[in-house]
């Protein structure tokens, strides 16, 4: 989403650096940078034969247009054509429906997915920001497995876990904002991809180092010392520690930061530390 801030040489170095540390899964969307993110990525791929498309997992998303949502067959197909052209690739490993469309006709989504699958233009399918019943509606018609639901999840933005733990209470955290998406995805074997893993809710910037999250930052620093890792790695490890085995979608454009985040793979937070971070982020346990 933030790739367009990189110059061409920088982007090439970033992709190489990411591949070297095993971060070979790239998350795009037709709307990122108004197409510029896919375009620049595609140019980097084309301009550097040492970048091996076959070793990458390239995902894109469709369905958000200027001022409205559109899951019509026609739009899904034309959006994928645009993404493939900009990325300079014959296929997407994964296509996600970016946001639920109130006017969705699931038969149309099904027809688009069939065409994309049979032409080999998309290998796997999923959704983003979808509630369980919206996924069930799609599943009634779509014959391909929906393998991913990309949702906001971070230490401060953790209603996905809060609403479950505060069930039956009148507390703020008890608000069910997603229809029980976490348990539903676990039941159905749908992988949750956590977007904005380091951001404060409401696009207010990162919480790491933010004065608005003093207690959380103190706890992150304490555990960073204990685990011999950075605060960023501890915040990432908090997401990876969840047994739903979520994927973390990092938005950094710095290879050093990506390396730090990847360090979370080697950290297994204890149950007690996981909860301590959760409480330090301002949540409560009934
Ligand atoms: N499906 C959806 O609706 C949806 C919505 C939003 C995002 N997304 C996807 O999720 C990806 C991640 O979202 P995001 O970019 O908001 O996530 P993020 O990884 O939480 O935030 C990355 C931004 O935070 C900055 N940052 C500052 N300090 C940081 C620290 N200590 N650790 C990590 N980052 C720090 C990064 O700067 P540097 O570049 O300097 O590191 C970068 O600008 C997007 O790129 C997009 O692919 C999906």
Cα separation, 64 vs 1, in Å, equals 14
- Give the Å distance between the CA of 1 and the centre of ligand 1: 8
Instruction: Tell me the pLDDT tens digit for each residue of 202-243.
Output: 889 999 999 999 999 999 999 999 999 999 999 999 999 999
Q: Is the pTM of this model over 0.85?
A: yes
* φ, ψ at 265 (rounded to 5°): -60, -25
Long-range contacts of 101-104 (CB under 8 A, 24+ apart): 101/63, 101/69, 101/70, 101/71, 102/69, 103/69, 103/71, 104/71, 104/134, 104/137, 104/138
Question: Relative to the CA of 28, which ligand 1 atom is closest?
Answer: 47
DSSP class of 155? S
pLDDT band at 59 (very low <50, low <70, confident <90, very high): very high
Cα separation, 166 vs 173, in Å, equals 6
The verdict on the CB of residue 37 being under 6 Å from ligand 1 is no
Active-site positions read: 32
What pLDDT does 9 receive?
A: 87
């Amino acid at each position: 989403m933030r790739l367009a801030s990189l110059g061409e040489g920088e982007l090439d170095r970033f992709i190489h650096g990411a591949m070297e540390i095993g971060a070979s899964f790239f998350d795009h969307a037709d709307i990122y940078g108004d197409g510029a993110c896919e375009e620049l990525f595609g140019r980097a791929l084309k301009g550097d034969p040492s970048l091996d498309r076959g070793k990458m997992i390239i995902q894109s998303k469709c369905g958000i247009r200027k001022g409205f949502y559109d899951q019509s067959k026609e739009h899904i197909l034309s959006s994928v054509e645009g993404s493939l052209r900009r990325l300079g690739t014959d296929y997407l490993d994964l296509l996600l429906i970016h946001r639920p469309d109130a006017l969705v006709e699931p038969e149309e989504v099904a027809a688009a997915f069939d065409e994309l699958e049979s032409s080999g233009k998309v290998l796997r399918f999923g959704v983003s920001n979808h509630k369980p019943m919206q996924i069930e509606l799609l599943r009634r018609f779509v014959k391909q497995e929906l393998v991913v639901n990309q949702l906001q999840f971070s230490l401060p933005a953790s209603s996905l876990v809060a609403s479950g733990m505060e069930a039956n209470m009148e507390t703020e955290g008890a608000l069910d904002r997603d229809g029980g998406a976490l348990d539903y995805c676990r039941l159905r074997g749908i992988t949750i991809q956590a977007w904005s893993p380091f951001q404060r809710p409401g696009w207010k910037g990162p919480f790491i180092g933010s004065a608005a999250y003093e207690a959380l930052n103190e706890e992150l620093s304490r555990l960073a010392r204990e685990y011999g890792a950075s605060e960023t790695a501890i915040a990432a490890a908090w997401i990876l520690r969840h047994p739903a085995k979520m994927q973390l979608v990092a938005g950094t454009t710095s290879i050093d930061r990506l390396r730090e985040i990847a360090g979370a793979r080697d950290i297994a937070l204890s149950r007690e530390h996981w909860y301590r971070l959760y409480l330090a982020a301002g949540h409560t346990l009934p």
